[in-house]
Amino acid sequence: MTITCSKTGCLVANSTRCLRDIEPPESCEFYEDSDTEEDEKEEAETEETKVADAGESYEFHLGIELGYDDALVITRNSYAHVLTILGETEVGKTCLLTCFYILAIRKRLSGYLFSGSLTLPAFEQRARHARQWEAGIPKSMPSHTNLADKRSPAFLHLQLQGEGDTKQYSDVLFTDLPGEWTADLMDREDTHTQFSFIHRSDAILILIDASKLTKTASGNVQIRNAEVLFERLAKNLNLDRTIPIYLVLAKSDLVAMKVPAAVEKIKSAAAQHGFSLKIHQVAAWSTTTKTKAGTGVEKLLLDILSTRDRPKLSPAPRDLKARLRQFLQVRVND
Amino acid sequence: MSEKTVLMIGGPLAGKTSFLAKLWLAVEKKTCSIKLRDRGADDQYLREISQRLIAGEFPGRTLRGQRHSCSLQLSTETGIDFNLKIPDLPGESWENLYTRREWSQTFEEAISRDCTILIFVRPDEYVMLLDFTDGELDSSTDVPSAGETPTEVLIVDWLQMLREAFRRNVGFDVRPKVALVLSAWDRVPASAQQNPQQFVQREMPMLSQFVETNSASIDIPVIGLSATGGDLNKDANFKERFEKSPEKFGYLYMPNGKGGYTKNLDITSALQWAIS
């Protein structure tokens, strides 16, 4: 479609903003849109190149993030590890997820082979940000998670096969939550329904920017946020204390892979609520030559996957929606 | 008489049409183990692409908007008659399957116990998978543009969708036969040509892992194919020799069932595997 405006000086075609500030711009009397010959040709070509014709179409799995219903298909067939990843905006949650994916498909996960994924296009969409280097290596991987359904979590899926004698398959479901979810969890008391899925977690990863912990002011904020987060997990969500919690020190390349002293205060805050933290340092992305991108990520994932003591949960409350209740109860029947 | 369908899948210029042209040439000239029983009424497209090959040219790509469904009535050396349907679609159609996530009734109905898939990929021209964790990348690294999906990702995605289609139409007890055909195999150094599977293990770790870990649910042999046996565009000497007797050129490296490979000058041996 081609947009034009006959009003002199109006750049609506380029900026979508009407010179006369009319909202929406389509309602302006000078606004025009039309299908050009080029547009029609492009549209016709698109139609011609699909592996489809005028008849009925048959769909495949969509390849995008999974909701509860899609995740259930996986958890019904076999036991699936559910990893909940929490952390504020831009701490590197998506980058870590992408790194898990890259390590798996590039055969860099000791003892495991990549066996498939129902969310390949979704992983690729995230990995694509790491491939846009026209202006040199970026300082971070620019990406922000947007959920299709803002009230339900989204999961990314990887299937791995152990290289041992048993050749056992492991399905792993990673949550991909926007940073706002973690902020909501800390700021609001009424998020327990939104976070119901967390009780199904085999591990919870809490990402904190390691470089912020080395400075007094930002470190204090991080410690305070962690205190609130553990309080919410304990009191509002009544989280099972046997679910392993990993404190992931993201962007550790910026602190030369050293554990900041402030981590001890965070561990104490967790212990006050009965949580025991496992500390991991990672640099999923790196802007320094001293630290390789991906450092610590394999170790973290292998540690999570090696956890054998899966806690048993109580049956999910009856008042939860059926699909969510089913999702939670898979573990009980395991 | 059984009816077999062979689906050829691959991106643009992956070698699907060259294979089909060479196949037709071999069948027509009777230089292969598969015999033509009846040329049928719709052989115009096959004649066109094979004539280009006889003239010393690669048949070229199937253009956007074109689709050809070839139907051949053939019989094996041992006298088994079969009808072979080979739809030839432009590579863009298959690339679009990655984003569209649907296909037509024609393809859905083709999926049966008698359907075999050949996935074509060029070992010298594919979109590499960038690994930002390997520590050797810098801003000068030749990376795929944002719009390009790495070839390994496309193929694994196709394999997963094909398995889904087989399970939907045939059931969970079937083990689909999906050969990975590395076309233009003559472009690979001679020392590496002996074992196409090793090439995939070395160059395409994602695909290689998928093939290894899904061998119980999909039969995925790796085949090396050179439809012409050399480069008609860049090697003038070869082109001259080829033009004298095009039916004599071309070869396959097929798994020999003993963990190794055998070079086979009969290009239809891929079809023998497909219908077996």
Query: What is the per-residue pLDDT for A236?
Result: 92
Q: Exposed (0-12), middle (13-18) or buried (19+): which is A198, by Cβ within 10 Å? A: buried
B103–A116: do the CB atoms touch at under 8 Å?
Answer: no
**If contacts are CB pairs under 8 Å, which of residues 108-127 in chain A contact chain B?**
108, 113-118, 120-121, 124, 127
Give CA–CA dist A62/A56, Å, rounded: 17
Query: What is the per-residue pLDDT for A47?
Result: 45
* pLDDT interval class at B179 (50, 70, 90): very high
Query: What is the per-residue pLDDT for A51?
Result: 66
A57–B103: do the CB atoms touch at under 8 Å?
Answer: yes
Return the percentage of chain B with pLDDT > 90, whole number.
Answer: 40
Backbone angles phi, psi at B95, to 5 degrees: -60, -40
* pLDDT interval class at B59 (50, 70, 90): confident
Q: Does A50 touch chain B (CB under 8 A)?
A: yes
**Which of the two residues, A143 and B205, has the higher pLDDT score?**
B205
Segment B8-30 shows an average pLDDT of 89
Segment B167-189 shows an average pLDDT of 94
Neighbours of A194 (CB within 10 A): 17
* pLDDT interval class at B221 (50, 70, 90): very high
Contact assessment for residue B105 and residue B162, using Cβ atoms and an 8 Å cutoff: no
Calculate the alpha carbon distances from B211 to A129, B10, B76, B159, B205 in Å.
27, 17, 29, 9, 10
Tell me which chain B residues have a C-beta less than 8 angstroms from the C-beta of A53: 104-106
Q: How distant is the Cα of A200 from the closest Cα of chain B, in angstroms?
A: 27
Segment B180-208 shows an average pLDDT of 94
Q: Which of A114, A133, A169 has the CB atom closest to B209's CB atom?
A: A114
Q: Does B142 touch chain A (CB under 8 A)?
A: no
- The H or E element containing residue A5 is strand A2-5
Backbone angles phi, psi at B261, to 5 degrees: -130, 150
Tell me which chain B residues have a C-beta less than 8 angstroms from the C-beta of A49: 64-65, 90, 92-93, 96
Q: Does A64 touch chain B (CB under 8 A)?
A: no
| Token couple for A320 | 């939860």
Weakly modelled stretches of chain A, pLDDT under 50: 36, 39, 41-48, 133-135, 137, 141, 332-334
Q: Does A102 touch chain B (CB under 8 A)?
A: yes
Encoded amino acid at A158, one letter: L
Query: What is the per-residue pLDDT for B69?
Result: 74
Tell me which chain B residues have a C-beta less than 8 angstroms from the C-beta of A167: 213
- Residue range B106-140, pLDDT digits in tens: 889 889 999 999 999 999 888 888 777 766 555 55
The count of CB pairs under 8 A between chains A and B is: 141
**If contacts are CB pairs under 8 Å, which of residues 203-232 in chain B contact chain A?**
205-206, 208-210, 212-214
- Residue range B27-46, pLDDT digits in tens: 888 889 999 888 766 688 88
Of A135, A53, A126, the residue nearest A92 (C-alpha) = A126
Query: What is the per-residue pLDDT for B118?
Result: 93
* pLDDT interval class at B276 (50, 70, 90): confident
Give CA–CA dist B133/A106, Å, rounded: 10
Q: How distant is the Cα of A80 from the closest Cα of chain B, in angstroms?
A: 17
* pLDDT interval class at B235 (50, 70, 90): confident
Give CA–CA dist A25/A36, Å, rounded: 20
B64–A118: do the CB atoms touch at under 8 Å?
Answer: no
Query: What is the per-residue pLDDT for B176?
Result: 95
